[in-house]
């Protein structure tokens, strides 16, 4: 990201905190243009008008909270990196954010340098994922195929299911390494930008369970857990 201005949308209802973060990123760190919004509704409007590179948002806000804002953004854009900033530590709250398509959490309070590190790491990660060479459609077992571009799981019967952003990212990664064990820490690092975070790890378990249910009708494919190592999407003759 050297030499590039990062256009960051900051959605935060605390005006003082907003001022501090904006000043820290623009004046102390440098290389940022910070757009601000006081709630999720304003955040949606700024996102549509300005098309920022990354969004940093609080969860609890008036008019529209962070969850609803992220839900609406992900209906149209599955790629823009989104970070939640919050003092919340409940696993349920954190999992909800990840399920909606949030890429990472930054716990309040935090320094501008810490926020900068999260933002730059996430931008490198997500931009790298977007430019990777993708096979548009991958067959899975005997009954399924996966449209990697649209994130749609198709059955040969004609039925289609649109996966969530996180489900699609995980299945895409497993398909890239079909028949090979993908280490758990590699998945967490690539999709959640962490290797040891408890909440990200529990979120991964949720999405693995969901994908298993979706693929359960086909005896020729199995999403297996290799205990203590990782996951493997395995095809077999039946």
Write the CATH number for 143: 1.10.10.10
Scored b (16 or more CB within 10 A) or e, 118-156 reads: bbbebbebbeeeeeeeeeeebbbbebbbbbbeebebbee
Same domain, 56 and 85: yes
Residue 1, in any domain of the structure:
no
pLDDT, tens digit (0-9, with 9 covering 90-100), for 130-152:
544 455 788 999 999 999 888 89
SS3 89: coil
Q: Is 158 left (phi over 0), alpha (psi -120 to 50) or beta?
A: left
Residue showing tokens 């909270």: 65
Same domain, 76 and 159: no
Residue 124, in any domain of the structure:
yes
Pick the last residue of a domain from 105, 131, 157: 131
Give, in order, the Cα–Cα distances in Å from 12 to each of 17, 18, 20.
8, 6, 11
- Whether this prediction's pTM lies above 0.85 is answered by no
Distance CA 70, CA 54 (A): 12
Same domain, 40 and 64: yes
Residue 93, in any domain of the structure:
yes
pLDDT of residue 140: 94
SS3 193: coil
In terms of Cα–Cα distance, which of 134, 88, 118, 133 is closest to 192?
118
Residue 192, in any domain of the structure:
yes
Residue 50, in any domain of the structure:
yes
Distance CA 229, CA 223 (A): 14
Q: What is the mean pLDDT, run by run of 10 residues, along the chain of 238 residues?
A: 78 92 88 94 95 93 94 87 81 84 83 83 67 68 90 90 87 90 87 76 90 94 92 88
Same domain, 117 and 197: no
Supply the range of the domain harboring residue 191. Answer: 137-235
Same domain, 213 and 97: no
For the chain, what is the domain count? Answer: 2
């Amino acid at each position: 990201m050297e030499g590039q201005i990062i256009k960051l949308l900051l959605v935060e209802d605390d005006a003082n905190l907003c001022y501090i973060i904006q000043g820290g990123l623009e004046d102390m760190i440098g290389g940022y243009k910070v757009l601000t919004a006081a709630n999720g509704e304003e955040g949606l409007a700024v996102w549509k008008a300005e098309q920022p590179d990354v969004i940093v948002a609080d969860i609890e806000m008036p008019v529209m909270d962070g969850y609803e804002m992220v839900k609406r953004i992900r209906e149209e854009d599955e790629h823009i990196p989104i970070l939640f900033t919050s003092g919340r530590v409940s696993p349920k709250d954190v999992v909800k954010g990840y399920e909606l398509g949030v890429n990472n959490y930054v716990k309040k309070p935090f320094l501008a340098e810490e926020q900068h590190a999260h933002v730059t790491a996430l931008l490198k990660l997500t931009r790298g994922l977007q430019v990777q060479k993708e096979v548009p459609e991958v067959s899975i077992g005997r009954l399924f195929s996966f449209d990697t571009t649209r994130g749609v799981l198709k059955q040969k019967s004609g039925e289609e299911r649109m996966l969530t952003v996180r489900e699609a990212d995980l299945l895409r990664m497993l398909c890239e390494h079909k028949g090979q064990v993908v280490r758990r820490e590699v998945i967490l690092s690539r999709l959640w930008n962490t290797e040891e975070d408890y909440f990200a790890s529990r979120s991964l378990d949720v999405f693995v369970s969901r994908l298993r249910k979706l693929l359960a009708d086909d005896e020729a494919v199995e999403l297996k857990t290799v205990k203590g190592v990782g996951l493997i999407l395995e095809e077999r003759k039946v």
